[in-house]
Amino acid sequence: MVSEPFTNVTDIAAVSTPFTKYYEEKLTAAGWVRDMMREAGGPGAEVTYYTKADQFIIVSFHSVFKVRHEDAPSECPCDVEFSLMSGTQ
């Protein structure tokens, strides 16, 4: 499942932190465990991996920066898209 993007975001953490914290609280309360060996993150993106028995849930977000430079970091504003994926290992 993929969300409609939040557009023209100037503070990625302001929109991503509530999303990731919500799922962290709900999933861990239901017995899901984070697998940090399968996680990844960087500027404007994060993938969090949860397991329970032979199942997995991936909670992620990524940003599409509107200002890009070849020799400098990308800058906001950006569009941020959230997604959830589940399956069996």
Give the predicted TM-score (pTM) of the model.
0.88
d(CA 80, CA 89): 28
Query: What is the reported pLDDT for 34?
Result: 97
pLDDT tens digit sequence for 16-64? 999 999 999 999 999 999 999 999 999 899 999 999 999 999 999 999 9
Burial group, residue 72, by CB count within 10 angstroms (0-12, 13-18, 19+) = exposed
Contact 16, 61 (CB under 8 A): yes
Query: What is the reported pLDDT for 58?
Result: 98
Other C-beta atoms closer than 10 Å to the C-beta of 60 total 21
